[in-house]
Structure 1
Amino acid sequence: MSETEVVTEPRPLLLSDGRPAAAAWSLDPGMLHLNHGSFGAVPLIAQQRQHELRDEMERAPVVWFPGLPARIAATRGEIARFLHVDAQDLALVPNASAGASAVYAALTAHPGGDIVVTDHGYGAVTMGAERLARGWGRRVRTARVPLTADADQAYRAVMSEVDNRVALVVLDQITSATARELPVEQVGAELARRNITLLVDGAHSPGILASPLEGLVCDAWVGNLHKWGCAPRGTAALVARGPLREHLHPLIDSWSATEAFPHRFDQQGTVDATGPLAAPVALDFIDRTWGWETGRRYMDELADYGARVIGSAFAGSAGPTESVDVGMPVPGMRLVRLPEGLGRTRIAADALRDRATAELGVEAAFTSFDGIGYLRLSAHVYNTPADYDRFADFCVPALHEWARQARMRS
């Protein structure tokens, strides 16, 4: 960042009583929390609702579990309204990976062809695709999408791997490691024309995108509510609108197994469903306190601020900002390139995450793509500009030193 460039500092969001937004969460104030996108953070009001529901469950389990399917169905309706989809198209699953696994299980019994994924795909979901391909006796093709690719370039990169031998495409709506969108609407329209199944991994989409399924044609979509939606963990949506839905079953067979989709997902033995039941409280809290549109705008401005401040710190006061050119940037998420020697692989990036937590007291996401390490910023309403200033002042020098040591060892 040049001396003349001014970085606009977003005004932190406050609660209605004037307290900082973070007061509505139970996050440790002694740590920096800059990685909302991995595991989320549940506001106190939703935690309290989940505690109340668990107390109710434990007071009378024989009353609780028989009545659970009706309560789950009602909750599905509330989550469907948040996502702007029909409740009859939406099933609740523990997380996006579980939803993807349900899709793979539905496809296992039918002979298939090759599967196309991208080099931005989430590891666990890609592993499931590889397992399915092995069962089919086919292979997984990886479409290489440059980080800088715009929508048309990314579309061409994905479709270059699609021919008449392909039966399934698995595509991230928002990529985890690289914090970018992929052109799921454009790809989905063409795959529908060719009658090729599309699974969209929208793990990061609920909350960060206002209406993630609008204009999207796909056979199945999965998205986590515990990330930007701030719901208790174990809350995710599986949306299916086409013929595939009739073959989708929960990973646990229970007494609703013979019912139609999505009702067969409403009962899964003695699974603790208090997280999903408390999810609407978290969604409503954000909406009532600030409004989702205001919250998204703040998160985006804050992520931009953080990337500029931290990027400048990495580059040095006399150097240019270490900005990363992402072809389809995501609201509320940014990448900052790490110094040479840090986070070159997923394993190295995970080790860096753990070391930063232990030695620097920061919860941050370190990722890797194409042999380059990145800091992935994912802001939420409880974050403030001071969080990123603190990282720049305190953590960046340590990371520079760690990079220097890594280069000396290599």
Structure 2
Amino acid sequence: MTQPTTDPKSAPTAAPTRPSAFPGGPQLFRLDPAIAHLNHGSFGAVPLAVQEVQATLLEEVHTDPDAFFVDVADRIAAARGRVAAHLGADPDGLAFISNATEGANLALNAIELADGDEILVTDHGYGTVVAAAARRAPVTTVALDPDLPDEDAVREAVLAGLTPRTKVALLDQISSPTARLIATPELLADLAARGVTTVVDGAHAPGMLADPLAGGADFWFGNLHKWGYAPSGSALLAVAPRHRGRIRALVPSWEDGDGFPRSVENRATADYTGWLAAPEGLDLLDRLDAAKVRAHNSTLAAYGAALLAELPGLTPLPYAAGLGMRALRLPPGIAETPESARELRERIARELRIRVLIWPWPGGGGIRVCGQLYTRPEEYERLAAEFPAHLGR
């Protein structure tokens, strides 16, 4: 079951309680302390312990490339097994990939579509993932008001967007800009009952959710390099058994004859060290107590959002308890286009030394803040104090 969504506009207002920093959290990373890194959801950050494992692997590659590449496929399979154990997944139905966009293309290419079939997406979807859908078939875009109060309202809006031609639904598990739960197990069950093939963009799910593969989607892909503390370029594709035989690597490899998952993991002389080090990130999360880390991240993000909600013109969006991201709408006229959102984001980074996500939306864009082991309450306080001066510029 999913966590219920809370509408902050209906909750009683109270001064936010200042949370504590995670003991030793900043020391786990190699981040510039002069910058407030409040945008973990975009690119993640690799802990030092994981960096060290990857550095050792790189040294191994440079010391004896032949030895490394001869048996790398088996080592990748072993690493995949370790990751699968963390996620409660079938290692034979899971493959390492580079990012969520690659996962979207692999999944959509494996689905048989006839003339007239359509793919349903929402306007919260990630741009390159939605573009992958548009390459395969006509796309129907469901407009989801960011202010929809809960997951039931989101589910009803998605189901109302189905047409007799809908063959596939490509949905975010946690939307990137608005930090909303969309592809809940309940919605996936409703879609399956209607004969719709489900493809879930779980870019933010590993490490953020306790059970990221809940719901049994036909295809699911997610990044390990965000909330799973893996090196950049580490992601996963999970495929239900009935679809695995149709997965084809985007580029043919020597492992094609072995089928999925090895066929999509073989990249010749690519850098595999990130994948081999990826299990270390999930191991670290467990050693720190994953539930404790998730609760800490959520509490910090909630604190930052509460401070921003006190600013004139900023409106907090409904949220699901336990997520390490929160989003707010900006005043009308602010960040309504991708260009203006990018300009505001980069100006905040340049002049305030604060990293946040500013996302565009008609009628007024939004701001997303994240909580992570290395973030500190005073960084959100500084953002809330200095951000108003940039809204009218």
Per the normalisation by structure 1, the TM-score is: 0.88
Name the aligned partner's letter for residue 304 of structure 2: G
1:250-289 alignment to 2 at 5 Å?
250-288=249-287
2:177·2:327 contact (CA, 8 Å) conserved in 1?
no
1:121·1:172 contact (CA, 8 Å) conserved in 2?
yes
1:148·1:327 contact (CA, 8 Å) conserved in 2?
no
2:315·2:328 contact (CA, 8 Å) conserved in 1?
yes
Q: Does 1:186 align with 2:186?
A: yes
Unaligned runs of at least 5 residues, structure 1: 16-20, 134-138, 316-320, 406-410
Q: Does 1:169 align with 2:157?
A: no
**What corresponds to 1:9 in structure 2?**
18
Q: CA deviation at 1:341?
A: 3.2
Distance in 2 of aligned mates of 1:379 and 1:53: 30
Name the aligned partner's letter for residue 154 of structure 1: V
1:389-400 alignment to 2 at 5 Å?
389-393=381-385, 395-399=386-390
Of stretches 102-111 and 42-51 in structure 1, the one that deviates more from structure 2 is: 102-111
Name the aligned partner's letter for residue 259 of structure 2: A
1:37-56 alignment to 2 at 5 Å?
37-56=41-60
Q: CA deviation at 1:183?
A: 4.0
**What corresponds to 1:18 in structure 2?**
none
Distance in 2 of aligned mates of 1:287 and 1:48: 18
2:359·2:365 contact (CA, 8 Å) conserved in 1?
yes
1:182-237 deviation per Cα after TM superposition (whole angstroms, max 9, x unaligned): 143223212222332110001011111110112x1321000000111121011001
**What corresponds to 1:153 in structure 2?**
153
**What corresponds to 1:408 in structure 2?**
none
**What corresponds to 1:295 in structure 2?**
293
Q: 2:109 aligns with which of 105, 109, 125?
A: 105
Distance in 2 of aligned mates of 1:78 and 1:111: 41
User: Which secondary structure state, in structure 2, belongs to the residue aligned with residue 331 of structure 1?
Assistant: coil
1:254·1:267 contact (CA, 8 Å) conserved in 2?
yes
Q: 1:203 to 1:112 in 2, by over 3 A?
A: farther
User: Which secondary structure state, in structure 2, belongs to the residue aligned with residue 307 of structure 1?
Assistant: helix
Q: CA deviation at 1:108?
A: 6.6
**What corresponds to 1:74 in structure 2?**
78
**What corresponds to 1:404 in structure 2?**
392
2:309·2:316 contact (CA, 8 Å) conserved in 1?
no
Name the aligned partner's letter for residue 338 of structure 1: L
Q: 1:109 to 1:124 in 2, by over 3 A?
A: same
**What corresponds to 1:136 in structure 2?**
none
Distance in 1 of aligned mates of 2:191 and 2:368: 31
Distance in 2 of aligned mates of 1:327 and 1:389: 21
Distance in 1 of aligned mates of 2:316 and 2:132: 30
Name the aligned partner's letter for residue 293 of structure 2: G
**What corresponds to 2:350 in structure 1?**
358
Distance in 2 of aligned mates of 1:59 and 1:111: 53
Distance in 2 of aligned mates of 1:112 and 1:341: 39
**What corresponds to 2:3 in structure 1?**
none
**What corresponds to 1:306 in structure 2?**
304
1:299-330 deviation per Cα after TM superposition (whole angstroms, max 9, x unaligned): 11111111112222x22xxxxx9442326466
Distance in 2 of aligned mates of 1:50 and 1:256: 24
1:376-407 deviation per Cα after TM superposition (whole angstroms, max 9, x unaligned): 011111111111112122x31432xxx323xx
Distance in 1 of aligned mates of 2:183 and 2:265: 32
1:337·1:374 contact (CA, 8 Å) conserved in 2?
yes
Distance in 1 of aligned mates of 2:30 and 2:329: 30
Q: 1:384 to 1:109 in 2, by over 3 A?
A: same
Q: Does 1:247 align with 2:256?
A: no
1:5-37 deviation per Cα after TM superposition (whole angstroms, max 9, x unaligned): 33211111113xxxxx11111111111100000
Distance in 2 of aligned mates of 1:152 and 1:282: 34
1:261-302 deviation per Cα after TM superposition (whole angstroms, max 9, x unaligned): 2122332211111111111112222321x2110000011111
Q: Does 1:116 align with 2:120?
A: yes
Per the normalisation by structure 2, the TM-score is: 0.92
Q: CA deviation at 1:106?
A: 2.1
Q: 1:127 aligns with which of 126, 131, 137?
A: 131
Q: 1:192 to 1:295 in 2, by over 3 A?
A: same
Distance in 2 of aligned mates of 1:359 and 1:50: 34
Q: 1:249 to 1:353 in 2, by over 3 A?
A: same
**What corresponds to 2:35 in structure 1?**
31
**What corresponds to 1:318 in structure 2?**
none
Q: 1:127 to 1:7 in 2, by over 3 A?
A: same
Q: Identity of aligned pairs, percent? A: 38
Of stretches 168-177 and 183-192 in structure 1, the one that deviates more from structure 2 is: 183-192
1:180·1:329 contact (CA, 8 Å) conserved in 2?
no
Q: What is the RMSD of the two structures over their aligned residues, measured on CA atoms?
A: 2.0
Distance in 1 of aligned mates of 2:322 and 2:154: 15
Q: 1:187 to 1:336 in 2, by over 3 A?
A: closer
Distance in 2 of aligned mates of 1:249 and 1:146: 36
Distance in 1 of aligned mates of 2:333 and 2:359: 13
Q: Aligned residue pairs: how many?
A: 381
Q: CA deviation at 1:111?
A: 5.3
Name the aligned partner's letter for residue 392 of structure 2: R
Distance in 2 of aligned mates of 1:66 and 1:248: 24
Unaligned runs of at least 5 residues, structure 2: 1-8
Name the aligned partner's letter for residue 398 of structure 1: A
1:330-381 deviation per Cα after TM superposition (whole angstroms, max 9, x unaligned): 6111113334432112332122222222222111111123432211011111
